[in-house]
Amino acid sequence: MITNVGNVYESTKVVLDGNSFQGCKFKNCILEFGATAPVSLISNEINNCQWVFSGPAAMTINFLRSISRDAGTELGTRLIQSLFDMPVFVVEADEKNLNVTSNVQATV
């Protein structure tokens, strides 16, 4: 993952996939997410930007829209909201390592 700290992006297209942005400023940008690699967004300023979803991200959004539409507004909304209550697992792999992390927190 490429780390970007304190950068300023203005009136440009920024591909988010495979990047970490911390303390960056985005103004009048196109922010593209394709869901082809992890992304990290921490303490950034985003002003007047357009979000674009491509590839697997666009297919996922279209699938969720169809669930919401076909299952009925109430059921579809509850189903999609429940996705945010589920644990999130992140899998990263290279030739030698496989790392799995989760947002699940345990209280002991």
What is the residue-level pLDDT of the chain in tens, covering all 108 positions?
999 999 999 999 999 999 999 999 999 999 999 999 999 999 999 999 999 999 999 998 888 888 777 766 777 777 777 777 766 665 555 555 545 454 444 333
Residues 21 and 60 in one domain: no
Residues 44 and 62 in one domain: no
Q: What is the pTM of this model?
A: 0.70
Residues 96 and 66 in one domain: yes
Question: Are residues 41 and 57 in contact, defined by beta-carbon separation less than 8 angstroms?
Answer: no
Count: domains in the chain: 2
Question: Are residues 15 and 30 in contact, defined by beta-carbon separation less than 8 angstroms?
Answer: no
**Which structural domain range is residue 22 located in?**
2-53
